[in-house]
Structure 1
Amino acid sequence: MSKQRGGAKLIKKAKLIIWKEAPMASRWKIEIVDRSFRDILDIDSPFGGKVIVFGGDFRQVLPIFPKSTRAEMVNASLVKPYLWHQMKKIKLTRNIRARTDSSFSKLLLRIGNGEEPIIRDDLVLLPKQLVIEIKSDGTGTDALLEKIFPELDKNIDSAKFMTERAILANRNEFVDQLNEMLISRFPGERRTLVLKKNVPIMLLRNLDAFNGLCNGTRMICRGFDNNVIYPEIMMAQNAFKHVFIPRIQLSPPKNEG
């Protein structure tokens, strides 16, 4: 990034920069940003003097390096760069998303802190209310899809039904499998992107922040042509706004089924 480009000018104007899920980033990426900011702003201090908030939870996902050891993963994390000791640590104590279910919130904390009893091979026994029973004529995956997306054929046109539920998975291969199985249950024509009408999708780039087209925006596919997708935004103040986006900008969500 040169000092004359628009990105550099935006960095100079910024008062605050927020880095989400920072524990997932490798230390080398963070150090590169630090050196780049110092160069762009001509100030030899951390990140060129800009205030940066690193958000995340070390109890979740660390940087992923295939076939690496635990020590190698920790060495590549945020706690290892020369900047760590210059950062002010602020801890959040309330789980806002789970505030209506204190027992579930406490369970997550116990698991994250390694305090929940283990039955075998580092496996935690889930409470019965979190377990879905498998029917004799089906599989666990089928039971999961039917539980989260019940009567899909009757609710297929309901944006509220689609955006109020999601399936999380810890590996991309499981996400791909769940997406494939769920999309196969939608009626309609199938295209190269493995997409059908009314399927929930997620925008992967910041295209137009003013109109709600940001990375991570959840939408519903209301139709598509060979090179264009017609989604409906289902978030915040831009909810129910219809837009059209080049097909390469979208994908089924990679961190959820």
Structure 2
Amino acid sequence: MVSRYCYEVPDKCLGDIMRCSPTYSKDLPFGGKMIVLGGDFRQILPVIPRESRQDIVHSTVNSSYLWKFCQVLKLTKNMRLSVETTASDQDETEQFDIVEEVNNHLMAIIPEGEKLYLSSDSICMDEGNMESQLDLYGPELLNSINCSGLPPHKLILKIGVPMMLLRNIDQFSGLCNGTRLQVRKFGNHVIECEVLTGNNVGHIALIPKMNMVPTNETVPVRFQRRQFPIIVSFAMTINKSQGQTLSHVGLCLPKPIFTHDQLYVALSRVKSKRNLKVLLMNHVGISANSIINVVYREVFEKIVF
């Protein structure tokens, strides 16, 4: 999912440091250092908001001048499917989302009393034309902004509800972006949670409020939101599920997958097909038995499998 420019910038920096830049040599990328890149072009490509298919393909690393220096190494064993599975499970495996609606529906079913946390939103002070922006973007308007990677202004929680962490807080303790947690206790300034995923399953963590600045280009003004860096996560988007291994998966697809191989990513999160359930609907909301798998075939042109 990383843009080619995230590789080209350190290539130039290391080249200058090691005096191996194109000025000195054209055959030593990354200053002569060996770099290992991990990825799968069958999975999600770089996310470029409001750009065309051509722009997305052009941003992949195999469209970079660095690709000619890369040697493709292939992994042949699916470790996700081989861990804690029976022989019959392995035999079987050889054969966008309405996330917010699902989360709200399941939240309403839980009988426990709810706790409401409101964020504090303000325009970033490093912006120019502060006076005019303060007039245009008052607190009510900032409160109404919801975008990817940012918790809502009104965060409603209940004891026992699963959540997802939206920021890296303490990587050593497993508190990273994407970590799943469960609410245990409420506080005014911290929330006590139990870690549900990773190497620290069962550990207790205190999640504080943080200042978060959205990087979404669709947001009309640069502002910060002070809120707990979490969202309710009975369900998650396909992008957020990438890299996770789950024992059971329910895939809700009332609309077709809209970009390169999200369907592949969603279906490959589970260890056994018997633990995978998929709900498909056609354009009029009636159950269906097939869906289009979107693939940008041109990203494979420079890759030999």
- TM-score bracket, normalised by the shorter chain, equals 0.5 to 0.7
> Per chain length, whose mean CA-contact separation is higher, i.e. which structure has more relative contact order (CA < 8 Å, sep 6+)?
2
Matched, 1:54 2:31: no
Segment drifting more, 237-246 vs 38-47: 38-47
In 1, the alpha carbon distance for the partners of 2:169 and 2:208 equals 11
Q: Per-residue CA shift, 1:190-246, capped at 9, x if unaligned? A: 422232221122333332233332333322111222332211123455332212121
Further displaced range: 240-249 or 49-58? 49-58
Taking structure 2 as the reference length, the TM-score comes to: 0.47
Q: Partners in 2 of 1:184 and 1:33 — Cα distance?
A: 48
For residue 91 of structure 1, what is the aligned residue in structure 2? 74
TM superposition score normalised by structure 1: 0.55
Indicate the SS of the match to 1:244: strand
Which residue matches 1:229? Answer: 191
Cα distance change, pair 47–183 in 1 and its aligned pair in 2 (3 A): farther
For residue 103 of structure 1, report the CA deviation from its aligned partner: 5.0
Partner of 2:9: 32
Q: Which residue of 2 aligns with 1:215?
A: 177
Could you list the per-position Cα deviations for residues 123-180 of structure 1 after superposition, in whole angstroms to 9, with x for gaps in the alignment? xxxxxxxxxxxxxxxxxxxxxxxxxxxxxxxxxxxxxxxxxxxxxxxx2x42222222
Amino acid at match of 1:35: K
1:250 corresponds to: 230
Distance 1:64 1:106 in 2: 30
Name the SS of the counterpart of 1:205 in structure 2: coil
| Corresponding position of 1:102 | 90
Q: Which amino acid aligns with 1:176?
A: E
1:43 Cα deviation after fit: 5.6
Q: Is structure 2 residue 222 aligned with structure 1 residue 239?
A: no
Identity fraction in percent? 41
Give the SS at the match of 1:194.
strand
**8 Å contact from structure 2 (residues 181, 193) kept in 1:** yes
CA RMSD of aligned residues (A): 2.9
CA contact (8 A) 2:185 2:193 kept: yes
8 Å contact from structure 1 (residues 95, 105) kept in 2: no
Q: Contact between 2:165 and 2:177, CA under 8 Å: does it hold in 1?
A: yes
The aligned residue for residue 61 of structure 2 is: 78
Find the aligned partners of 2:39 and 2:185 in 1 and give their Cα distance: 36
Structure 1, gaps ≥5 residues long: 1-23, 108-170
Please tell me the residue identity of whatever aligns with 1:180: N
**Secondary structure, aligned partner of 2:78:** coil
- CA distance in 1: counterparts of 2:19 and 2:106, whole angstroms: 52
1:175 to 99, 107, 110: 99
Matches within 5 A, 1:102-121: 102=90, 105-107=93-95
1:205 to 158, 167, 170: 167
Consecutive unaligned residues in structure 2, runs of 5 or more: 22-27, 117-153, 210-227, 242-249, 251-305
CA 1:241/1:89 → structure 2, altered by over 3 Å: closer, same or farther?
A: same
Please identify which structure carries the higher strand content.
2
Q: Which structure has greater helix proportion?
A: 1
How much has 1:47 moved relative to structure 2?
3.3
CA shift in 2, pair 1:223/1:43, >3 Å: farther
- Matched letter for residue 2 of structure 2: A
